[in-house]
Amino acid sequence: MAWVSGPGAGYGFTTRRFDQQWESREELEKGIRSFLAEIDPTTGYLSD
């Protein structure tokens, strides 16, 4: 199965920081929750 509608440029979640260091587990979980909160449950895409 091919993903024909994406991914869009700059779309998604990453655990990489600009300085190549890892976040703490708490910061990583906070970032994931924040990212997922932006997903529109109807479309499955990031909200505008």
In a domain, 44, yes or no: yes
What pLDDT score does 1 carry? 59
Domain count, the chain: 1
User: What residue type is 6 in one-letter code?
Assistant: G
1-48 pLDDT, tens digit each: 566 666 667 666 677 778 888 888 898 899 889 888 988 888 888 877
Give the tokens for residue 25. 């587990």
In a domain, 40, yes or no: yes
pTM of the model: 0.58
In a domain, 17, yes or no: no
In a domain, 46, yes or no: yes
Structural domain that includes position 26? 22-48
Specify the DSSP class assigned to residue 16.
-
What pLDDT score does 3 carry? 64
What pLDDT score does 44 carry? 82
Among 39, 41, 43, 45, CA closest to 8: 45
Residue 32 dihedral angles phi and psi, to the nearest 5°: -65, -45
